[in-house]
Amino acid sequence: MRIEEDCIGKLSVEDDALYGIHTLRAVTNFPISAERLNPLIIQSLIQIKKAAAQVNHVAGTLTTEKQRAIVAACNDLLLGQHADSFIVPAIQGGAGTSANMNVNEVIANLAMRQTPHLALSPNDDVNQSQSTNDTFPTAGKMALLIQLPGLLRAVAQLVQTLQVKATTYQDAIKVGRTQLQDAVPTTYGRSFSAYHHLFKRDLTRLQVAGKALRSVNLGGTAIGTGVNATPYYQQHILTVLNQNTGLTLQTAPDLIDATQNCDAFVEFSSAMKTLAVNLSKFSNDLRLLASGPQAGLAELNLPARQAGSSIMPGKVNPVIPEVVNQVAFEVMGHDTTVTMAAEAGQLELNAFEPIMLRDLLASEHDLQQALMTLVRHCLRDLTVNTATCATAVEQSAITATVLTPYLGYMATTKLIQRALANHQSVKARLLQEKLLPSALINDLFTPAHLLAPRQNGTQVQQA
């Protein structure tokens, strides 16, 4: 055991542990769950430490030997070595200080293990020119940006798949429904096209919100004033970090603003929440339209993925839309957490970024997986029962809506009532009563008239 000391006191640390006293205090203080800090945040923090060492060396505030030792340690860690040394909880107090110090301690101790004669300080050397208050939010934004392309690709695949379905079923007529009651006819081509445009807007929202994540406060140190950072460091840290990572981070116009305000996180969370809301509504529609198959709407055939009951033989449930619904509920809850955490920030710093980043990264990851699951295991092989849909249109009394320009609203209402009372279709009743010429009646009940605006200015017949 080795003894380490901080402002609180002394603590025993295992001799072979790469972490130190700050990390151990966090493990003891925050026993909230077994969930540890997201690996992408750790990776991003390591990248920041590596870039900082390179820039501080050129600035003349870090020796060549220390710079080489820190960079070498960072490179090993970025290859996945010693991942078990990052043990701080995902949910933690201290605005991310525990996360930052866990990384600082591991880098310093690994560097000294690799260069035994060298003395390195987690604070003075590895954390030089930095504060948790600029490194942690920057690392969080980096982590979100690393995951973002996968989410965007998943949304784009959904958009493309819906466009294909819209083309495939462009002429498949169906009964429209408002408030779960029959409405005028439409087609599945139009329905799928509407979903296509819905998620295309989600894609745009995510792209716009993602751009805001590129603005970071790195170089602002504690509260955005840049205390303890050299001008050279402030001017070059993002250049080196971007070169090392391939990201396109930009210095925020106002570092004090960027240090204390978290509206970029709220905006990104909101874009994901909107996507989740739309996914849940879409999943609800899929489950409703596929309901049955004998005693429901049965307009859609969802691919059978697994047996649906432990007691009812042959039952198959819409498990893919169901799991997407649940991810959507999770994301909406995460958005509430992010909203409240951002609002709870005080004065020059928001102390609640750990829970914000934990939930944002979880939402981003789970949405991507849910979208891929929905497309691969449900939508691609989804089919429409076109015959069932066409029969429903034929039998639906609401098709009489096309008669109101000729008969008027009340006369058409009474015609519908007579047809329903005699168990007839509206068309059959209309032909029987000879209220309009048969040729016109047959023409009005074709898809061309049922699905499109009026073609003439016919006046309502007066009773």
What average pLDDT does the segment 416-424 reach? 92
CA distances from 150 to 46, 325, 365, 462 (A): 22, 20, 8, 62
> Hey, which residues does 186 pair with through a beta bridge?
174
- Confidence (pLDDT) at 150: 98
Q: Give yes or no for residue 460 having a pLDDT over 70.
A: no
* Closest-CA residue to 197 (of 229, 162, 242, 157): 162
For residue 28, is pLDDT > 50? yes
What's phi and psi for 83, nearest 5 deg? -65, -25
- For residues 391 and 393, what is the distance between their CA atoms, to the nearest angstrom? 5
Residue 222: the pLDDT is: 97
Residue 220 has pLDDT above 90, yes or no: yes
Decide: helix, strand or coil at residue 89: strand
| pLDDT computed for residue 328 by the predictor | 98
pLDDT, one tens digit per residue, over 58-78 is 999 999 999 999 999 999 999
**Cα–Cα distance measured from residue 299 to residue 282, given in angstroms and rounded to the nearest whole number:** 15
The per-residue pLDDT for 267 is: 98
What domains are defined for the chain?
2-128 (1.10.275.10), 134-387 (1.20.200.10), 396-450 (1.10.40)
**Least confident segment among 91-100, 187-196, 392-401:** 392-401
CA nearest neighbour of 367 among 147, 40, 146: 147
Query: How far is residue 5's CA from residue 459's CA, in Å, rounded to a whole number?
Result: 92
Residues serving a catalytic function are: 309
441's enclosing H/E stretch is helix 438-444
Classify residue 248 by burial, with Cβ atoms within 10 Å: 0-12, 13-18, 19+.
exposed
Predicted confidence (pLDDT) at residue 87 exceeds the cutoff of 70: yes
Q: What is the pLDDT of residues 133-175, one digit of tens each?
A: 999 999 999 999 999 999 999 999 999 999 999 999 999 999 9
| Position 191 pLDDT exceeds 70 | yes
pLDDT at 196 over 90: yes
Residue 195 burial class via C-beta count within 10 angstroms: exposed 0-12, middle 13-18, buried 19 and up: buried
Whole-structure pTM over 0.75, yes or no? yes
Q: Do 380 and 320 form a contact (C-beta atoms < 8 A)?
A: no
Q: What is the mean pLDDT of residues 431-459?
A: 84
437 is written with which tokens?
């010429």
pLDDT, tens digit, 9 for 90 and up, residues 38-63: 999 999 999 999 999 999 999 999 99
> How much is the average pLDDT of 207-217?
98
| Whether the predicted pLDDT of 189 surpasses 50 | yes
Confidence of residue 458 (pLDDT cuts 50, 70, 90): low
pLDDT at 370 over 70: yes
Mean pLDDT of 276-282: 98
Please state, rounded to an integer, the average pLDDT across all residues of the chain: 95
For residues 365 and 367, what is the distance between their CA atoms, to the nearest angstrom?
Answer: 6
Of the pLDDT bands very low, low, confident and very high (cuts 50, 70, 90), residue 453 is confident
383 forms bridges with which residues in the sheet? 301
pLDDT tier at 4 (50, 70, 90 boundaries)? confident
Tell me the percentage of the chain whose pLDDT exceeds 90.
90
